[in-house]
Amino acid sequence: MGNCCSNTAVVTRHSEMPPPPPPPPPSTASYPTAVSATCNSPASVVLSPDKPSSQQNSPPTPTLPEQPPAIYTSTFQRRSIPGPLSEQDLNQRKSAPEKTASFKSGDYTISYAYVSQRGFYPDSLHKPNQDAFVCQPMFHNQDSFFGVFDGHGTTGELCAQYARDVVPALLQQHLAKNVNTTQALIRAHVDANTMMHSAPFDDSMSGTTAISVLFQTNEIHISNVGDSRAIVAQEITDGAASPQLVAKALSIDQTPFRKDERDRVKKTGARIMTVDQLEGYEPIHENWGLTLGDEIDESGDPPRIWHPHGDYPGTAFTRSLGDHVSEELGVFAEPEVITKTLNAHDKFIVIASDGVFEFLTSQAVVNIVKVYKDPLDACLAVVEESYNRWLQFEVRTDDITCIVLHVEPSIAAAAASKQPPVKASKLHGRNSIIAGHDVLVAMQDSLRPVRGIGVDINKSWRSRDTIIGGYDTTARMSMASEDSLLSSSCPQGDTASLLLSPPSDYDVKQHTVPKSAADFARLERMVQHNFLFSHLTADKLHDVLSVMQRQVVADGEVVIHQHDDGDQFFLVDAGRFDVRVRAAPVEPEAAPTTDDSLDAAYGPVVHTYVASEGSHPTFGELALMYSKPRAATVLATAGGGTLWTIDRSAFRSILVRRPLRNVVQRLRNLPLLRPLTVAQLNLLAEQMKEVTLEAGTIVFEAGASVASGQFYLVVQGSVTIAPPLPADPTTIHAHDSFGDFILSDTPSRTCPYRAVAAEDTECLCISRDAFEATVGNLSAVVEKNNARRARKSATSRAKQAAPLNGVVVLAHTVSQALASLSQIDQVRVGPTIWQDLVATCRLVQFGGRWLTLRSISKQTVVQSHLKHQLLGEQDMYVALGRDQAGVAPLYGVAQTAHDLHALFDVAYVGVLEELVAFPLSSEAAIQYYAAQLVVAVQLLHGEGILTRSLDPTHLMVTRQGDVAVFGLNLSKYIGASRTFTICGNPEYLAPEQINGQGQTLATDYWSLGILLYEMLVGTTPFQHLHHDELAMFNGIVSFSPDSLEFPPTSSPALQALIKGLLDPKPASRLGAADCFKKSADECVVPQHAFFQGLQWDQLNDTNAPLLAEASAKFDRLVAAPTSQALDLGVPYTGDAKWMQEF
């Protein structure tokens, strides 16, 4: 079990004990009993007649006899994925049976298998497997018992083995006395915990979790202590053509992520914090697992339980066996017990340690298991995938244990469930939960988050078509629904919602469709000229083609329906396909056959795709970019045809893969770099270079000058560090660093020790200059980060202390004019300046001063999944500091009973597009607004924030006629790295956004170039194509600045500026070098000839070109004396506690 318990909660469980032996080969009996070591269950555990076990009892002592590893044979083929262990090493670490076994339970035949794999810890290669398990098909009478025990701490393996032996023994005794099953399970765990405290090993800071399933005829009883998990795969249909296997929880993790468990342990005086919160790096909050601005914590550091007066024990769960020290803080061993009746729709059960569920969702596990008919093969696949996931995010792996039980009903049981499975309202469907259902329903949203899965949700609030990124489109407001792009009923325009942040558990290997070399060559020729594929690297193109599936279509078969949600791309290999469009498509009662009936059902033929040698048309390209309703119906004709297809999730998953997560994790574990944010460490990881040091290479010599030295992170191998005598030399290994003094601020630049490669050693390195060019001077960065964290902490405390309606000031300086504004209802609400289906912006007045208030109903925040977005926006404002030129100045936030409010210390009159028609009247006006936006972009880029808001629908105009980026709802912290979530006006998208190369900060300069062109010409370069998005996107990726047409009166300087900004190559684009400059004086864009003569420091003192128009509109807005209500009138009756961070 990883990162569970230690005095610092950064768990390093060193042990010189050899690894425990795997289970012996199963017996030839019909019902073999398997345990994770030789079964040493006590023949008898004495209990007092009417009392639970006490410490007077003589507890059994588990032993660890030496045995050869179990040998298994299987049809499962291991994938060849690079890692620190060879296949032979992995097999030696595994415990598994020779073959699958089976038993009867009531009306069901259960076939089962297990696999347990010892973890890989580079600093403790012989660390024992702390997982234990038991499989007893003949347990008590006709009952069967299966369980997994996940140990932690220095004696975790002994705790797990003890619980494995004692819990079943105690349960047998209680059942033999006819104790109620639920009570027998509870007492078995509680008694085993009491007895463990007297066992001949120390369980003060060690213990084990426990998850078990007891089969009693047609019922199963699930007992859970801790954060291992049991799930059942249920066959469910929800309007689908065929039933789907869906993961359903049989247990809920008992961790501080659960509010009920959190509140329970806090009553004992315990503190609940992450390590970062404990050490002061993060403010105290309860938003663990959320993506808050740029603080995306990929370290997997969960909230932990701490003593009120000490930095211990740091347990990441709220229940366990053992952990004696934690008991006074509410960590106890009483299990939650769920009882379920099996039915014919339950296909298999998985019991596993958290080594499986750390990086795999329950559904991901089900998706793996369902591929295999043999439970042993399924176990091997789950364990292997879990192992690979650990190595993607960590430099170690946890112990991993998995039991899979296939459930096969008898004919009678199957006949009892003849009705087709339906999606039930209860968690397990069809009233199958007898007891414990309330626990599952109440806690199903309290699971600890699966690491490696992030969320990036943004929403368009503007009038033009805006593409946005996100995960859950179905739960959003209708404006952000998947069919809104083609809707003409929305007065504010259309919004397309993209699904461009695909689940991180997509695995190309598992989805590969076998193809011959000829197939690959043929597919490459087919897609070589398609704009979505032509820019892919060879590796990514190969992966995309690998997962493409062949689809044979019959004559008359409909491939896609007009207005259906689209998520698949099609490549025509052979055949003829008609494209039909109907103004108001209807579902025909029967499949049409004649041309007349086809026209009536689907509309007339507007195009035909015909495949021939050398010509293979495609359709559905936009579906790979974002979720857009189909614009037409496509059906096969002339005898049918053959298609190749790929869905958006697969395509985007392949495009966005990044190899740096494990490097970031290693860097974050270094004390020197601990104060840096994860985003800053991401930048370092991208800039560090690989180097191989041959054995004997002298890297540093004591006393030598280190003016050109490097900071090193050891990836593989070892380095000997020899300080001056009399100190002894030491050897550092993988994941350690040396050369830290290179980054220090000490005036002396001499090496304090000698560093020699003890063997061929692989390292990542970076020079001081490169380090500072990437993130800045280390001391300055640490100071800045600490100041920002202090501001975040102060803001968080202010929010928690603020009453309802209270204003929490986020501005760095409190305005004297607003000093007495403490309640949001003190403002007088004036006219609405802009509104959409999400937000309402109004002018408000306080003390004679006009401000702008953006209000969003809490109901909308819940339905549209905007919580992360709004919190991230606030974090970015905190990071910007005092200077917010060109960005709408957020003064403070407040919440009422039903709404969330953001108060901006400026009076806006509307968006730029509404106030003025392009082109602008003069180049002087273009120069003025271009300069304001350059200032805003450089401000945001200085903090590593990608704007994605530089178009006329996202720029607000003040009453003085100035423009500003209003809100940071589309913005994102990326630093020097990339992001793949597409956001923005389609006409403003850059080539790198469309072709999958990913956006950098330089992408903002492309948007600026498009905006300046529109200001000059009146249209964007691609506006003539906006009715055909496919043609428009193709035009963007093939764009050349030389194709631009300028008015004959435009100056060469402005033309050159626009051409430079619209360079299709991000690296050479004008402004790309500015993204990493620390001083505005060094930037290229402000020095461009177009800005010659502009007094940048006097920009705010100059009358804006749109002053007259803005002032006139402001006067019209405030002329009406009518005052509006503060609340938007949308009631909210849900839980308000989660909104305390607003």
Q: Coil, strand or helix: which one is 633?
A: strand
**CB distance 32 to 97 below 8 Å:** yes
CATH dotted code for 508-656: 2.60.120.10
| DSSP H or E stretch at residue 832 | strand 828-835
| φ/ψ bin of 217: left (φ > 0), alpha (ψ from -120 to 50), beta (otherwise) | left
CATH dotted code for 917-1105: 1.10.510.10
Read off the DSSP letter of residue 900.
E
Question: Strand 633-647 to strand 754-757: parallel, antiparallel, or no bridges (unpaired)?
Answer: unpaired
| DSSP H or E stretch at residue 182 | helix 181-196
Read off the DSSP letter of residue 1137.
G
pLDDT at 300: 54
Six token digits for residue 914: 């509404």
Six token digits for residue 770: 């490169």
pLDDT at 867: 80
pTM of the model: 0.52
Alpha helices (runs of H) in 252-336, residue ranges in sequence order: 259-266, 275-278
C-alpha 735: how far from chain center: 25
| DSSP H or E stretch at residue 476 | none
Is the domain covering 795-909 a CATH 3.30.200.20 domain? yes
Q: What is the 3-state secondary structure (H, E, C) of 712-774?
A: EEEEECCEEEECCCCCCCEEECCCCEECHHHHCCCCCCECCCEEEECCCEEEEEEEHHHHHHH
**CB distance 847 to 454 below 8 Å:** no
Pinpoint the residues of the chain covered by CATH 2.60.120.10: 508-656, 680-780
**CB distance 173 to 35 below 8 Å:** no
Q: What is the 3-state secondary structure (H, E, C) of 381-426?
A: HHHHHHHHHHHHHCCCECCEEEEEEEEEECHHHHHCCCCCCCCCCC
**What superfamily in CATH does domain 680-780 come from?**
Jelly Rolls (2.60.120.10)
Q: What is the 3-state secondary structure (H, E, C) of 218-233?
A: CEEEEEEECCCEEEEE
Question: Strand 839-846 to strand 899-904: parallel, antiparallel, or no bridges (unpaired)?
Answer: unpaired
pLDDT at 66: 34
Burial of 530 (0-12, 13-18, 19+ CB in 10 A): middle
Exposure string of 495-507, with b = 16+ CB inside 10 Å and e = fewer, is bbbbbbbbbbbbb
Report the largest interatomic distance among the alpha carbons of the chain, rounded to a whole angstrom.
102
CA distance 658 to 540: 12
- The pLDDT averaged over each successive group of 10 residues in the chain (1142 residues) is 38 32 35 53 33 37 36 52 78 93 95 96 88 95 95 94 96 94 95 95 94 96 94 77 81 87 90 81 59 37 85 90 92 93 93 91 90 94 91 85 95 57 34 39 48 37 47 29 25 32 60 89 85 76 90 92 82 91 58 70 86 83 67 88 87 62 75 79 81 93 81 92 85 89 72 93 89 80 78 80 89 84 94 85 93 92 80 81 77 92 94 90 94 92 86 92 87 76 82 81 94 95 78 87 94 96 93 74 89 88 92 89 82 73 71
pLDDT at 466: 59
Pinpoint the residues of the chain covered by CATH 3.60.40.10: 34-47+87-443
Pinpoint the residues of the chain covered by CATH 3.30.200.20: 795-909
Instruction: Using alpha carbons, list the distances in angstroms from residue 834 to 78, 447, 473.
Output: 58, 39, 24
* pLDDT tens string 247-260: 898 998 898 888 88
Fold of 34-47+87-443: Phosphatase 2c; domain 1 (3.60.40)
Residue entry with tokens 């050398």? 614
Q: What is the residue type of 317?
A: F
Which residue in 890, 892, 894 sits closest to 880, CA to CA? 890
**CB distance 132 to 164 below 8 Å:** yes
Question: Strand 400-409 to strand 346-352: parallel, antiparallel, or no bridges (unpaired)?
Answer: antiparallel
Residue entry with tokens 């499975």? 421
Which residue in 528, 611, 518 sits closest to 572, CA to CA? 611
Which residue in 589, 207, 219, 135 sits closest to 401, CA to CA? 135
Burial of 371 (0-12, 13-18, 19+ CB in 10 A): exposed
Q: Coil, strand or helix: which one is 989?
A: coil
CA distance 965 to 953: 10
